[in-house]
Structure 1
């Protein structure tokens, strides 16, 4: 079998293919033939920027997201059986409940990830694929979709008729849009172009604000909500957008902070915080229980993720370059033989 290996901050120069014997699952473990994996911003942060808030071991196998089929099970495995299609849960030890440091071991970081032809995981770390999804579509879910689901459903309950604000057209924002609509919410989205605005509307966005032509987009959000503000913001931008998100949120609303896509420094006007009453909640992907619940909703509504482009396993380096440099709309997938 073959697998890709990388190191923190070494970029594509440090990404290499190695050959191994196909591993044998031990007690409580399963052997997965990986059929597809997907890329997230975390991979760029680890490989290219050399920074990540959780430990990254040397010579790790990248990619937290993967889907495949069970080919062998170890002694005592009861949750799955050979032939079943599964996805990997990023935090194998986080089954349910609040996140804590004891659950922080993660695929594609402190643990080997899914950019490999075969992977051994604990039976507790796998989730069944909804029947209507392909391996490529399923591989899009574990990080971005679960993060969006956590952002929408944890803390304050999202209800039908609530208004959700999503920022941009990254994968978390696209999933947040799709999942919010499944819940009966109204969605206001921001984006950088009229072409992307049309695509967001096609996905179900009720209103879209072009932030290049409307830089004070928080004012437009207030106008679209009759001055009230939105009930939930899925915040992905960082300090460059957080102040405007705060100015967009309704009293007792919730902002779910999902990482920091922008790295430049910025300040936040403390009056924006003092003049509102809201909850700011950090998000760390989600538990296996949240993954399972999200999959039930996806299956019930036959929802499919947006895929931008699919690369072959041998084109993995090209996939990383494309993900890092291109203007994407949807997930970048690597398909395995």
Structure 2
């Protein structure tokens, strides 16, 4: 088949809000020998994308940024040196393109999509071949686009999940499929009912129980949870640390709280011997083996041309699960 010469993409000529997004057509670059060309089928939004839109994200951001980091698509061309992919393969990209293992360096961190690197809200994009992972067979492109960063759990672990957004819901599903116990937090009783149905053993409304870390300790008999999925940031991190057992871990995935007052987390974290993670793992085997449990929850799908509406819906916080943009 002939390859496209152009692609439509959303980008920010300036960043004050997602309303600054502009849809434009650009020429596609030639596929380099170590790259593949991917036709994007679906992109999912995360709260980080709102922060980038408002110039509130603390990381490096490219000028004229194409936003978003979570995608699923189909390979339509491969470079001459690429051996492990073929045309027609269904793939997602690592959020941090060069982060293939647990280690992190400044150079690796600088390869993050939708920030330090151009993102994926585009019809077509080239990727380094090493940065892609295969989509689990049972999942649609829309579902595969929602797969977030999450690292292994084991049966018997207890996990604290903050919120009911896409990452938090998938963490809950992933934990249950792994045999772990889930404690879920939300400010909405209706959303807590939803996560109960998905398998959370305990739920806490943090508006009616602002000292929720104390309740977590009660639920764990004073021990604390094995790990926290921390998607909020400064305003919750202190209580997250208080909720984790000694030698536990905290997955730092989001920056939901925005600026907020800084908290002194260093000494409490050192005293507890905590591990902080920000990782991407291929979860395909677990998903394929437990698809009834781990199938991602999608709240709403928007067409490509209505990307701004998708951002507005995410900002409303009315969703339980992921907000997805269908591109093709």
**Same fold (TM > 0.5):** yes
**Take 2:81 and 2:270, find their aligned partners in 1: how far apart are those partners?**
56
Partner of 1:251: 246
Distance 1:333 1:251, change over 3 A: same
Partner of 1:81: 86
**Take 1:274 and 1:258, find their aligned partners in 2: how far apart are those partners?**
17
Partner of 2:306: 315
How many aligned residue pairs are there? 319
1:215 to 207, 210, 213: 210
- After TM superposition, give the deviation of residue 75 of structure 1 in Å: 0.9
**Take 1:179 and 1:211, find their aligned partners in 2: how far apart are those partners?**
23
Moved more, 229-238 or 299-308: 229-238
SS of the residue corresponding to residue 215 of structure 2 reads helix
**Take 1:19 and 1:170, find their aligned partners in 2: how far apart are those partners?**
32
**Take 1:65 and 1:83, find their aligned partners in 2: how far apart are those partners?**
19
Deviation sequence 1:180-227 (CA, Å, 0-9, x none): 112211111111122111110111101111122222222222222222
Moved over 6 A (4+): none
- After TM superposition, give the deviation of residue 102 of structure 1 in Å: 1.1
2:72 to 67, 71, 76: 67
Q: Structure 2 matches for 1:28-107, cutoff 5 A?
A: 28-48=34-54, 50-103=55-108, 104-107=110-113
2:227 to 220, 232, 242: 232
Deviation sequence 1:278-325 (CA, Å, 0-9, x none): 4051x3342xxx2x2x12211221121111110001111111122123
Q: Does 1:284 align with 2:273?
A: no
* Gapped regions of structure 1 (runs ≥ 5): none
- After TM superposition, give the deviation of residue 118 of structure 1 in Å: 1.0
**Take 1:160 and 1:213, find their aligned partners in 2: how far apart are those partners?**
31
SS of the residue corresponding to residue 226 of structure 2 reads strand
Would you tell me which structure has more helix in proportion to its own residues? 1
SS of the residue corresponding to residue 251 of structure 1 reads strand
- After TM superposition, give the deviation of residue 22 of structure 1 in Å: 4.0
Partner of 1:295: 284
**Take 2:271 and 2:284, find their aligned partners in 1: how far apart are those partners?**
35
- After TM superposition, give the deviation of residue 8 of structure 1 in Å: 5.5
Partner of 1:127: 133
Mapped contact 2:252–2:278 kept (Cα < 8 A):
no
TM-score (norm 1): 0.87
Distance 1:43 1:234, change over 3 A: same
